[in-house]
Amino acid sequence: NGCGYCLDIHTQDAIKYGETTRRLFVLAGWQESELFTEEEQVILAMTEAVTFIHNGGISNELYAKAQQLFSEVYLAQLIMCMVTINAWNRIGVATHMKAK
């Protein structure tokens, strides 16, 4: 979402929990990378669609793909995670939070 604070804390967490630096470095270009599974690509696409909801939200095609890959409960959980991430981003932007 372009938030420096979010990028900083989530990158630190990702490394702490075993994510590779290679995948983190290429994350901004995930659409052109073969480093992400089909499931991860769908989650990333959905996350971007929710983040930039003013562009129309999750397309019917993307949602149908997600329904093929994920259970109804897991899909709902994913969407709630995306909404929560964006809520925290808006709080951070509104309050001018800075990375430490």
The answer as to whether 62 is a domain residue is yes
The answer as to whether 99 is a domain residue is no
Do 5 and 98 meet the contact criterion of CB atoms below 8 Å apart?
yes
The answer as to whether 8 is a domain residue is yes
The SS3 assignment for 90 reads helix
Q: What is the CATH number of the domain that holds 78?
A: 1.20.1290.10
Q: Tens of pLDDT along 48-94? A: 999 999 999 999 999 999 999 999 999 999 999 999 999 988 888 88
- Please tell me the distance from the alpha carbon of residue 38 to that of residue 43, in angstroms, as a whole number: 9
Find the domain containing 54 and state its range. Answer: 4-94
pTM score, two decimals?
A: 0.89
Do 5 and 92 meet the contact criterion of CB atoms below 8 Å apart?
yes
The answer as to whether 100 is a domain residue is no
The answer as to whether 39 is a domain residue is yes
The answer as to whether 10 is a domain residue is yes
Q: Which residues, other chains included, contact 95 with Cβ-Cβ below 8 Å and sequence gap of 6+?
A: none
The answer as to whether 20 is a domain residue is yes
Q: Tens of pLDDT along 5-33? A: 788 888 999 999 999 999 999 998 999 99
For the chain, the domain total comes to 1
Q: Which residue has the higher pLDDT, 1 or 71?
A: 71
